[in-house]
Chains A and B, each alone.
Chain A
Amino acid sequence: MSGVSKHLRHAAVGAAALAAFGIGASANAETNLAGKTIQWTIPFSETGGSAKWANFFAPLLGEALPGSPKVVVRFMPGAGSTKGANWFQKQKNGDGTVMFGSSGSTQFPYLLGDPRVRYEYKDWKPVMATGTGGVAYLPAKLGGKFDGSANKLKGEKFIYGSQGATRLDLVPILAWKMLGLNVEPVFGIKSRGAGRLMFERGEANIDYQTSSAYLKSVVPLVKDGKAVPMMTWGSLDSAGKIVRDPTFPDIPTFKEVCGKTDGCKASGEQWDAWKAFFIAGFPVQKIAFLPKGTSQEVIDTLTAGFAKVKGRADFEKISAKRLGKYPMFVGKDAQAALGRATSVPDSAKAFVKKWLKADYGVELK
């Protein structure tokens, strides 16, 4: 394998040289991946959102890359995705055949200093990133008390089906706490889908879903009058400010609701911590990486491949269905997105750790 790849790399360097001298027709140096298999490792099981994401992109990427290589998705679940990420950290095969897909659930343990984390995001080479949003919603009865502020909901007792306080659920739980809502999370739910089912059965009376799941499963409930949307987490504009989620322009953001609710402040330590983890978990949720030490040609080739996917005439239509209407970052934009997702100030980390321990007894050590 390594012999072949060395050969290919020489060919690529040759091609790059030709291109540099202006002889080649194409502007970019590209590694031809014909006959190769790209193993795209996802650190989750076959059943999760990341699997859906990778399975969506894999065939499109294969088509778009020079030489039409086979792109296969491999699953390496374990230890809340830290196992797969630790494995990827050790990969040295930078010929483009090894790729990795991380998610918010990989970012959070990294940010919180989980003892199992042996990986370093700064070593990896991002080639593509996508985001998502989230929507919190209430049962119809309680929804009536929601008037754009959470003031009338403060006396209620809420039950929320949660996967765990150290996961993405950290964002909604902290948001509700900041609004002064009395939410008791029931931990150990297996998926957000199971959480929604608890809501439908009336066992939980507050819930949130990521955008695609909300569109698919909660919008029918809203139409039937069984659920009422409360707020979205919002979306980031180019200046890094939180604005309304373009997928849900009619639903207020948490920032707006917080502004109208007594005792909730959209500034200060607590707000900064919430915003930092929101950014790490939602607008830049899933990132495709090449390992440390990958040559620039290979990075360029994969980047160009993803750019080509993004440029497909039908891309907007087919991706909106499966991933929701969210930005897809390629190349430099992906690098910038990664920067936003992993640069959480130490004060925010410290605040969240203190809060998790005080409220739920959860310690990461």
Chain B
Amino acid sequence: MDILGTVLPALGDAFGLILQPGVLMFLALGVVMGLAVGVFPGLGGIAGLSLVLPFIFGMDTVSGLALMVGMVAVVPTSDTFASVLMGIPGSSASQATVLDGFPLAQKGEAARALAAAFASSLFGGLVGALFLTFFILVARPIVLAFGLPEMLMITIFGLSMVAVLAGRVPLKGLAAAGLGLLVGTIGEADAGGSLRMATYDIAYLTDGLKLVIVGLGIFAVPEIVTLLRQDRSIAKGAVLGAGWFDGVKDWWRNKMLSVRCAVIGVIVGVIPGLGGSVVDWIAYGHTVQTTKDKSGFGSGEIRGIIGPESSNNAKEGGGLVPTLIFGIPGSGSMAVFIGAVALLGSGDLEVGPQMLSANYLDITYSIVWLLALANVVGTALCIGLSPTIARLTTIRFTLLAPFLFMLISFAAFQSGQNLADLVALFSIGLLGIFLRRFDWSRPAFLIGFVLSNPAETFANQAYQVAASKFRDGMASGMEYLFGPIVIVLIIITAISIYFGIRQAKVIMAEGEVESGGKRAPVIFMALVGIYFVASFYNASLISDRLITDKIFPMFVASVGMICVAIMLVTMARRPATDTIFADRESHGGDTPPVHGLWPTLAWFGFLLILTSLVGFILALLVFLLAFMRIRAGLSWTKAGIYTVCSIAFMMFMAWVLNREFPPGLLQHFLELPWPLT
């Protein structure tokens, strides 16, 4: 295809299409809405798009696209606020940002961290759009080259990032990843529908645990509880240090890293079926491997923000490729996007190969332009807001915590609209607290969880197809399994693991942890071991006819059991000061807490039980008032104002997004008006 002859005129036409006041207005509206949704932890593009869906029907095509692209493009920008300021992954795309972003906020450098993140996001978004401009014309054969073996290898490459993030005891990192993989298999198997560590009596478990809940539970809950126990502000000493200008300079110094990570983002985004949740981890792993002085990672290394943030906006551009030219969504929000496109204008536009035909190329390119423009507008807004929003880190955390807990409970509930979502959040949160306490790598756990389903299904399917090819002949089987892309990926993975293991000891992804006392770490280790054994036994009960449903959990559980067994032996031999006995509760590590773990947790347990009795809003009323009066020591008046404002905010958000609240027993017997339903 004559690229220049086709692309340039279409690009020009597309530019003309979007440079209309109406279109720009819708773009701005989309951006503002996207920012608002992104700031809300746990709610991503899908929630935002559902918000505009009712208005899309029959809307002018380009205006509608402007509204939707504006929204989708800025979610990975604004979700950084929660990741950096609160240590809560704003969405699955910015999980890795938490690792270094939050420590910077604790040092009082939130504005710097945010500015670096936004500059990287913008740059990544623009690189993504630029790449897309040319890539989209040659993408079809490339996407078709990624078969099951290639996708399996990318998944394994993603898992190899565990090596870098494993922490000081590699076996422990491996066991953490194994635990994540196993937790990811809970529920109905994709292949044969067998249940794993679940029963039909607890219908909730048959669907498996949702990423939103695991992400919030593993990262947000432990962070909130820790800060709450210390009863201080997020920024130690409550002062703001370096400002946003430093952040932009930081990005400029690392622009090459930003370019590389943006390219990673586009490429991983292009491959359908992987989803965006692994992009930021691959970018983080790459960043660590290419940084000379690795000692700062986990305690506020600015490169640890620039890498993932450059990749996650670029991913949105990449994700548009399979969406537009194959009609296969690269992510959940893209799937909604496809549905919404069909509602636009006269309904003529349908994503698919025709998007590349001469008739529609200008529309396709207008999407690329809109993507770039939305990134610019969104970033400008975010950078402008960041010094103000960074002040949140100087507020006494006890005042913020219940509000945050309210937000994440609401977000968790949206994933399954079930009270069990809150129970799951609480349980995974508890696991997160212990993983953090005993220095088990939480990133490794999360990578395992995220990649569990792709690893299992791609492995099973690739095996099945390969077996059929091998029946045709050795050569066609080998050719299928070991294509050039697979071989390159195997080499990259091997190199990545080799360097990862060598470097892992230096990288404390979550800060230094002291050791002391054998009892607690050993008990936790043994409990993890018991879970491995139970999973193994549980999977072994599945009929051999459904071998595809049992082989993966049994394999992972076996590896996990071996790791735990070796570590238990090591523990028996080493002194209590060895790193294997890391325990944040011993002494040191965290700032010594003012409050105990259990009383703090009891507050949230209280909210949970109250919700199950009287529903979310009534429970919040009691919980917020009591918490503010008793724990925070506010006057009744102030506690009252706080409670009213928080609940009003909650109701406003739910009303705008058309969402429900968790009902309790009371609602079972009485029909109450919204929002008490």
Q: Using CB atoms and an 8 Å cutoff, list the residues of chain A in contact with chain B.
A: 1-2, 45-47, 51-52, 55-56, 58-59, 70, 72-76, 78-79, 83, 86, 115-116, 157, 159, 161, 164, 166, 184, 186-191, 193-194, 197-198, 200-204, 216-217, 220, 318, 321-322, 360-362
Q: A47 touching B54 by the CB < 8 A rule?
A: no
Give bound CA distance, A1 to B674, whole Å.
8
Which residues of the partner chain B approach A200 to less than 8 Å between Cβ atoms? 144
Q: Mark B157-197, 1 if CB is under 8 A from A, else 0.
A: 00000000000000000000000000000001111110000
Q: B332 touching A46 by the CB < 8 A rule?
A: yes
Contacts A78-B418, A186-B465, A198-B148 given; 4 further ones with Cβ under 8 A?
A45-B332, A46-B335, A55-B340, A203-B465
Tally chain B residues at the interface, Cβ within 8 Å.
61
Which residues of the partner chain B approach A216 to less than 8 Å between Cβ atoms? 327, 350, 352
Name the one of B147, B207, B338, B343 contacting A78, with C-beta atoms under 8 angstroms. B207
Q: B350 touching A47 by the CB < 8 A rule?
A: no
Q: A116-B206, A318-B347 are in contact. Are A47 and B190 (CB under 8 A)?
A: no
Q: A51 touching B192 by the CB < 8 A rule?
A: no
Q: B671 touching A2 by the CB < 8 A rule?
A: yes
Q: B144 touching A217 by the CB < 8 A rule?
A: no
Give bound CA distance, A170 to B350, whole Å.
28
Cross-chain pairs A/B with CB under 8 angstroms, 17 sampled: A1-B673, A46-B332, A59-B58, A78-B418, A116-B200, A157-B471, A159-B465, A164-B193, A186-B460, A186-B464, A187-B460, A188-B189, A189-B461, A191-B328, A197-B328, A203-B148, A322-B342
B605: Cβ under 8 A from any A Cβ: no
Q: A220 touching B335 by the CB < 8 A rule?
A: no
B457: Cβ under 8 A from any A Cβ: yes
Name the segment of B106-114, B542-550, B630-638 touching the other chain: B542-550
Q: A159 touching B272 by the CB < 8 A rule?
A: no
Q: A72-B54, A197-B328 are in contact. Are A46 and B336 (CB under 8 A)?
A: yes
Q: A361 touching B543 by the CB < 8 A rule?
A: yes
Q: Mark B127-168, 1 if CB is under 8 A from A, else 0.
A: 000000000000000001011100000000000000000000
Q: A190 touching B273 by the CB < 8 A rule?
A: yes
Q: Which residue of B lies closest to A70 (CB)?
A: B54
B57: Cβ under 8 A from any A Cβ: yes
Q: A187-B548, A188-B190 are in contact. Are A217 and B327 (CB under 8 A)?
A: yes
Q: B658 touching A72 by the CB < 8 A rule?
A: yes
Distance in Å: Cβ of A192 to nearest Cβ of chain B: 10
B22: Cβ under 8 A from any A Cβ: no
Give bound CA distance, A164 to B189, whole Å.
10
Q: A187 touching B144 by the CB < 8 A rule?
A: no
Distance in Å: Cβ of A36 to nearest Cβ of chain B: 13
Q: B192 touching A362 by the CB < 8 A rule?
A: yes
Q: Which residue of A lies closest to B357 (CB)?
A: A220
Number of A-B pairs whose CB atoms are under 8 Å? 136
Which residues of the partner chain B approach A52 to less than 8 Å between Cβ atoms? 339, 342
Which residues of the partner chain A approach B327 to less than 8 Å between Cβ atoms? 193, 216-217
Give bound CA distance, A190 to B274, whole Å.
11
Q: Which residue of B lies closest to A197 (CB)?
A: B328
Distance in Å: Cβ of B464 to nearest Cβ of chain A: 5
Give bound CA distance, A201 to B142, whole Å.
11
Q: A47 touching B332 by the CB < 8 A rule?
A: yes
Give bound CA distance, A52 to B144, whole Å.
26
Q: A47-B332, A217-B352 are in contact. Are A73 and B53 (CB under 8 A)?
A: yes
Distance in Å: Cβ of A293 to nearest Cβ of chain B: 14
Name the one of B148, B193, B335, B418 contacting A362, with C-beta atoms under 8 angstroms. B193
Give bound CA distance, A2 to B674, whole Å.
11
Q: Mark B29-45, 1 if CB is under 8 A from A, else 0.
A: 00000000000000000
Give bound CA distance, A189 to B548, whole Å.
14
Q: A194 touching B328 by the CB < 8 A rule?
A: yes
Residue from B188, B273, B464, B546 whose CB has the most chain A CB atoms within 10 Å: B464
Complex A-B, nearest 6 residue pairs according to Cβ-Cβ distance, in ascending order: A361-B545, A47-B335, A188-B190, A59-B57, A187-B191, A188-B191
Give bound CA distance, A216 to B349, whole Å.
11
Q: B347 touching A188 by the CB < 8 A rule?
A: no
Distance in Å: Cβ of A35 to nearest Cβ of chain B: 14
Q: A51-B339, A116-B203, A157-B471 are in contact. Are A187 and B192 (CB under 8 A)?
A: yes
Q: Which residue of A lies closest to B467 (CB)?
A: A184
B577: Cβ under 8 A from any A Cβ: no
Give bound CA distance, A74 to B414, whole Å.
11
Q: Which residue of A lies closest to B147 (CB)?
A: A201
Q: A321 touching B193 by the CB < 8 A rule?
A: no
Give bound CA distance, A27 to B53, whole Å.
35
Q: A188 touching B343 by the CB < 8 A rule?
A: no
B387: Cβ under 8 A from any A Cβ: no
Q: Which residue of A lies closest to B463 (CB)?
A: A186
B417: Cβ under 8 A from any A Cβ: yes
Distance in Å: Cβ of B114 to nearest Cβ of chain A: 30
Give bound CA distance, A337 to B361, whole Å.
42
Q: A1-B674, A70-B54, A217-B352 are in contact. Are A47 and B336 (CB under 8 A)?
A: yes
Q: A321 touching B348 by the CB < 8 A rule?
A: yes
B558: Cβ under 8 A from any A Cβ: no
Which residues of the partner chain A approach B427 to less than 8 Å between Cβ atoms? none
Q: Which residue of A lies closest to B353 (CB)?
A: A220
- Which residues in chain B, 3-21, are within 8 Å of chain A measured between CB atoms? none
B329: Cβ under 8 A from any A Cβ: yes
Q: B545 touching A360 by the CB < 8 A rule?
A: yes
Which residues of the partner chain A approach B193 to less than 8 Å between Cβ atoms? 164, 166, 362
Q: B347 touching A321 by the CB < 8 A rule?
A: yes
Q: A201 touching B332 by the CB < 8 A rule?
A: no
Which residues of the partner chain A approach B273 to less than 8 Å between Cβ atoms? 190, 194
Q: Mark B323-339, 1 if CB is under 8 A from A, else 0.
A: 00011110010011011
B621: Cβ under 8 A from any A Cβ: no
Which residues of the partner chain B approach A59 to less than 8 Å between Cβ atoms? 54, 57-58
Which residues of the partner chain B approach A159 to less than 8 Å between Cβ atoms? 464-465, 468
Residue from B188, B346, B461 whose CB has the most chain A CB atoms within 10 Å: B461
Distance in Å: Cβ of B321 to nearest Cβ of chain A: 13
Name the one of B191, B343, B471 contacting A56, with C-beta atoms under 8 angstroms. B343
B50: Cβ under 8 A from any A Cβ: yes
Q: Which residue of B lies closest to A56 (CB)?
A: B343
Distance in Å: Cβ of B116 to nearest Cβ of chain A: 33
Which residues of the partner chain B approach A360 to less than 8 Å between Cβ atoms? 192, 545
Q: A361 touching B192 by the CB < 8 A rule?
A: yes
Q: A1-B674, A73-B53 are in contact. Are A201 and B144 (CB under 8 A)?
A: yes
Q: Which residue of B lies closest to A215 (CB)?
A: B350
Give bound CA distance, A78 to B204, whole Å.
8
Q: A184-B464, A217-B352 are in contact. Are A58 and B54 (CB under 8 A)?
A: yes
Give bound CA distance, A184 to B465, whole Å.
9
Which residues of the partner chain A approach B200 to less than 8 Å between Cβ atoms? 115-116
Q: Which residue of B lies closest to A321 (CB)?
A: B347
Distance in Å: Cβ of B144 to nearest Cβ of chain A: 5
Give bound CA distance, A360 to B549, whole Å.
12
Q: A188 touching B461 by the CB < 8 A rule?
A: yes
Residue from A46, A164, A184 whose CB has the most chain B CB atoms within 10 Å: A46
Q: A79 touching B203 by the CB < 8 A rule?
A: yes
Which residues of the partner chain B approach A202 to less than 8 Å between Cβ atoms? 147
Q: Mark B196-219, 1 if CB is under 8 A from A, else 0.
A: 000010010011000000000000
B354: Cβ under 8 A from any A Cβ: yes
Which residues of the partner chain A approach B338 to less than 8 Å between Cβ atoms? 47
Q: Mark B387-414, 1 if CB is under 8 A from A, else 0.
A: 0000000000000000000000000000
Give bound CA distance, A204 to B671, whole Å.
52
Q: B354 touching A220 by the CB < 8 A rule?
A: yes
Distance in Å: Cβ of B199 to nearest Cβ of chain A: 10
Distance in Å: Cβ of B328 to nearest Cβ of chain A: 5
Q: Mark B50-83, 1 if CB is under 8 A from A, else 0.
A: 1001100110000000000000000000000000
Q: B673 touching A197 by the CB < 8 A rule?
A: no
- Which residues in chain B, 312-329, are within 8 Å of chain A measured between CB atoms? 326-329
Which residues of the partner chain B approach A83 to less than 8 Å between Cβ atoms? 203, 207
Q: B329 touching A47 by the CB < 8 A rule?
A: yes
Q: Which residue of A lies closest to B672 (CB)?
A: A1
Q: A187 touching B54 by the CB < 8 A rule?
A: no
